[in-house]
A and B are shown apart, each in its own frame.
Chain A
Amino acid sequence: MKETIKKPVLAVGPFHPLQEEMEFFQLTLDGEKVTDIDVRISYNHRGIEKISESLQFDQVPFLVSRVCGICSASHPLAYINAVEEIAGITPPERAQYIRVIINELERIHSHLLWVGLAGHFIGYDTVFMWAWKYREPVLDLLEEITGNRNNYGNVRVGGCREDIPNELVPKMLKEMDKVDKKTAMLTNAVLDDPIIHARLKGVGVLTKQAAIDYAVTGPTARGSGVAIDVRRDDPYAAYADLDWNVISQPEGDVFAKAVVRLLEVLEAVKIIKQALKKLPDGPVTIEVKEIPPGEGCGRAEAPRGETFHYVRSDGGNRPVRHKIRAPSYVNVPSFKASCIGEDIADVTITLAAVDPCYSCTERLAVVDGHNKILHNYESLLQMSHEKTARIKKEIGAPEWKLEDI
């Protein structure tokens, strides 16, 4: 008779108040070790690429800013880059600088949001409260410039819809100084904290080769030593005129990704300050009559990585095909390389390290249909003892016996 295996499967998702999106991970376990992982996505497929084909070129930015709440500046910008490439348009210089300022403000608030959530995931709520407190003034600035905390709707084919009034520049510079100081303090506190080191170092390592094979981008790639950044590699808006650094770390663990994001906030502040000081005078938009037939590949460096938009025009007033690739689309599948072999407790923060957020242990299910019962009570207890012994050895904890007390 064929033996039956009962493999425990841990369900993470699909719904949890902390998750931005619905994703359903199934972790196959051996004790506390994850031996396999599978994912089911698209609980919320909205058909945006299809809707885009029914909108005029000028209406599409409003649609794509709703692809993602946080990346609501980078998606329209990547789309605009593609369309301006087809039409051979160069928008006015002032518009290029405004695009940079809004996109970098977005990066600051997104990275601070992640740092806060990452703190919360590992049970470090002080970091959560600090990071989100410092994020708030950035959202206020965005609201003051564009009218909205998210979904800015400020970019259009040929320029920007709204100008940044010159009177606002001194206030923004002052706010940026504050963000700079507070983030530097937060960064130092995080990087200096032994608990965070113990919790995040060596956890969920994505090797450089795996980063290349899974074609990951953004902080996920830069945390694994792949120093790519579209802002520098294929410059758009005014990035080529500004002085800043691409941050990268070789280790590939969750800690490296945290370091990359925190240092990128400081770089973003640097970029915004320069852009505000150099903000050229002049109009913020030019009139665009029509989009000729052709195809364009637009890119923008969103907080999570490269956002890619492919647009094809047949000379009409709507795109005939509009493909959108958000960075998470390539970053999320890298869990196959970073999670297998990890402990359950480390998997949630590893999944969160690419910056979609989820951390939920819904229930433990047992799936039949494999070969035999792997562990009984005694063997699970044995594994637990072994794990305790391993940790004690690692941190050099003393022996405690009940009789000694």
Chain B
Amino acid sequence: MKQEELNTKLLEIKGKLIDVEHKPHNRIFLLCESENAYAVNKFLFKNVALRFITATGIDSDDCFEILYHYSNDETGCVVTVKAFIRGRDNPAIESITPFLPGAEWIEREIHDILGIDFKNHPNLKRLILADDWPEGVYPLRKEAKK
């Protein structure tokens, strides 16, 4: 998809976003609240047909961020959906695996290391932590011991 076409497409989901940041090197960041992340991701994958790269989970002290990275391979543009999960108690977000099987592992991984609950994930088992790792200890949270 050409860049102008992509920019026009992105206007369709403007109502679900907090902000759109265009950065140098052909990078676009779409900021949204966690409850809108499912709709924005589904739009990018199904309607815009971007390629899913991976997701990044970040503990930013006052909130959790889940970054969903997509690639528009025709222009080399990386589109990142930055979803904010406000509040540190029982963080949760809707899973995108039901329509994007390629996201299964990364959601399981973020669940392991940050303790984020991916709602409606078909198979939210442990991926990278050992079976005997204690429950409720999340190694990539800020409070985890170094």
Contact = CB atoms under 8 A, between A and B. Distances in A.
Interface of A: 41-42, 45, 47, 49-50, 54, 85, 88, 212-216, 228, 230, 233-235, 295-297, 299, 306, 308, 310, 312, 321, 323, 325, 329-330, 333, 336
Given A42-B129, A85-B24, A234-B76, A308 B102 contact: no
Given A50-B139, A234-B78, A333-B102, A310 B69 contact: yes
Contacts of B34: none
Contact of A41 (B26, B127, B146): B127
A214 B101 contact: yes
Contact of A213 (B25, B73, B101, B105): B101
A297 B78 contact: yes
A212 B51 contact: yes
Contacts of A299: 71, 78
Nearest to A221: B51
B100 A41 contact: no
A332 to B, nearest CB: 8
Interface in B102-135: 102-106, 127-130
B102 A216 contact: yes
B101 A325 contact: no
Contact of B58 (A50, A214, A312): A312
B84 interface: no
B43 to A, nearest CB: 16
Interface of B: 24-27, 29, 51-54, 56, 58, 67, 69, 71, 73-78, 80, 100-106, 127-130, 139-140, 146
A228 B51 contact: yes
A8 B63 CA distance: 46
B51 A215 contact: yes
Contacts of A212: 51
A200 B32 CA distance: 46
A329 B75 CA distance: 24
Contacts of B100: 213, 215
A45 B113 CA distance: 12
B63 to A, nearest CB: 14
B137 to A, nearest CB: 13
Contact of B69 (A42, A230, A308, A329): A308
Given A50-B139, A85-B25, A330 B127 contact: no
Contacts of A325: 53-54, 106
A246 to B, nearest CB: 11
Contacts of A50: 139-140
A14 B102 CA distance: 23
Contacts of B140: 49-50
Contacts of A312: 58
Nearest to A332: B105
Contacts of A216: 102
A306 B116 CA distance: 26
A336 B146 CA distance: 37
Contact of B56 (A85, A215, A233, A323): A323
Contacts of B27: 85, 296-297
A284 B129 CA distance: 41
